[in-house]
Amino acid sequence: MRKILLQLDTDSLPSSFDAITALDAGADVLLPYGNVTPENAVGLVHGAIFTRAPDQLHHTAIFIGGSDVAAAEAVAQAVTKAFFGPMRVSVVLDPNGSNTTAAAAVLAVVRHVARPGPVLVLGGTGPVGSRAVRLLARQGYAVRVGSRLLERAQRVVEAVLLQVPEAELQPVELSGAEALAKAVSEVRAVLAAGAAGVQLLPQPVWQAAPVELLVDLNAVPPAGIQGVQATDKATVREGKICYGAVGVGGTKMQIHRRAIARAFEQNDLVLDAEQIYELGEQLGQSGS
Ligand SMILES: NC(=O)c1ccc[n+]([C@@H]2O[C@H](COP(=O)([O-])OP(=O)(O)OC[C@H]3O[C@@H](n4cnc5c(N)ncnc54)[C@H](OP(=O)(O)O)[C@@H]3O)[C@@H](O)[C@H]2O)c1
């Protein structure tokens, strides 16, 4: 029986990246839908769960994506609410690549930095950064959430605390060179999840700090962390272990493909940030 993936995207044009990755991950047929909302998703879910017998439903799965993470989360809620009893299919949630990218970045931190860190997340308010904050907190790291605006960082702290009440989180306003230097000097790792093409951390700042690990997710020049190359993967520069966007991206792609494949193994999974992170851990353990 063919593996069919419904690609529900909140953007008008469903992501070609997500489509290609799904096919590479083993989906036989892709059904892409754009402009998906919590309202129109329900009919699509019914189409998915009423067409095959319950014991065949693991051959159908749903991927939820889109550039607006909050909108995708609302669709995910509507999708899972539309399931009942055995009439369900597995769901992968990865809007904007946020879960798979954050999982790969956090795995790099876990590989090199002892808990509780602390870890500073630059651009900690974006889709990738805020997911990284949540995953780091779940892994027992103290996290400093960096933003140009304290209120934005505070909002992420409050949202993550709702899901990880024991988390040790601190919002940090990085409004000038002095604040940035102080924040970097107080942590063991910096994870830069700022917007594409924006440099957040100049090299002299990290070079002068006792920070051990630098992870930069921005692939568009200039680098988010000056001096870190996109292809760095545990590359040592000036005594710091460095990862660049391409270095992390290989792991991200592996995790993304594994999540799609996993969704076709049973019909009752909901793969959000934490479950996707676990798949990444398992990939590491299997040596892949
Ligand atoms: N390597 C991979 O596999 C992979 C996959 C997906 C994404 N990415 C990359 O991961 C990074 C994060 O993605 P995202 O979608 O979460 O990013 P985003 O939403 O575009 O930006 C993240 C944060 O960066 C800060 N920011 C935006 N413009 C800025 C500016 N001009 N100066 C300083 N700070 C600025 C903002 O925080 P404040 O306003 O709070 O300061 C924003 O919340 C991007 O570089 C993206 O390209 C990499």
Distance 89 CA to ligand 1 centre (A): 32
256 located within any domain: no
- Whether 36 and 159 map to the same domain: the answer is no
| % of the chain surpassing 90 pLDDT | 98
CA distances from 86 to 2, 89, 155, 156, 268 (A): 20, 9, 37, 35, 8
Check whether residue 62 and residue 132 sit in a common domain.
no
Q: Is residue 49 part of a domain?
A: yes
Task: Based on the fold, state whether residues 83 and 39 are members of the same structural domain.
Answer: yes
Distance 197 CA to ligand 1 centre (A): 9
CA angle 128, 191, 100 (to 5 degrees): 35
Taking the CA of residue 153 as reference, the ligand 1 atom at the shortest distance is 40
Mean pLDDT of 23-39: 98
Write the pLDDT tens digit of every residue in 81-100: 999 999 999 999 999 999 99
Q: Do 220 and 103 reside in the same domain of the chain? A: yes
Centre of ligand 1 to C-alpha 102, Å, is: 12
Are both 236 and 135 inside the same structural domain?
yes
Mean pLDDT of 52-59: 96
CA distances from 140 to 106, 159, 162, 187 (A): 11, 17, 16, 15
Specify the pLDDT at position 286: 65
Q: Do 29 and 106 reside in the same domain of the chain?
A: no
CA–centroid distance, 77 to ligand 1, in Å, is 25
Which of 18, 125, 175 has most ligand 1 atoms within 8 Å of CB, for mutation? 125
Asked if residue 205 is part of any domain, the answer here is: yes
Domain end residue (candidates: 93, 124, 155): 93
- 142 and 230 part of one domain: yes
Q: How many domains does the chain have?
A: 2
CA angle 170, 154, 198 (to 5 degrees): 90
Whole-prediction pTM: 0.96
Q: Averaged over 226-231, what is the pLDDT? A: 98
**Is 78 found in the same domain as 172?**
no
Q: Do 199 and 162 share a domain, yes or no?
A: yes
Q: Residue 64 and residue 187: Cα distance in Å, rounded?
A: 35
Ligand 1 atom 6: residue of nearest CA:
97
Domain CATH number, residue 67? 3.40.50.10280
196: CA distance to ligand 1 center in Å?
6
- CA pair distance 202, 181, nearest whole angstrom: 10
Cα 260 from Cα 60, distance rounded (Å): 11
Q: Per-residue confidence at 208, pLDDT binned at 50, 70, 90? A: very high
- Kindly give the distance from the C-alpha atom of residue 1 to the centroid of ligand 1, in angstroms, as a whole number: 40
* Structural domain boundaries enclosing 124: 98-248
Number of the ligand 1 atom closest to the C-alpha atom of 224: 45
Residue 259 Cα to ligand 1 midpoint, Å, equals: 23
Residue 231 lies in a domain: yes
- Calculate the CA dihedral of residues 197, 201, 206, 209 and round it to 10 degrees: -150
Instruction: Choose which residue among 215, 217, 220, 225 to substitute to test ligand 1 binding: the one with the highest number of ligand atoms within 8 A of its C-beta.
Output: 217
Task: Using the CB atoms, write b or e for 222-232: b if 16+ within 10 Å.
Answer: ebbbbbbbbeb
Decide if pLDDT at 288 tops 90: no
Ligand 1 centre distance from Cα of residue 201 (Å): 13
Question: ∠ at Cα 253 (7, 245), nearest 5°?
Answer: 120
Residues 139 and 226 in one domain: yes
Flag whether 287 is in a domain.
Answer: no
Residues with CB under 6 A from ligand 1: 96-97, 101, 123, 125-129, 147-149, 152, 193-196, 198, 200, 217-219, 245, 248-249, 252
Degrees (nearest 5) of the Cα angle 227, 230, 233?
Answer: 95
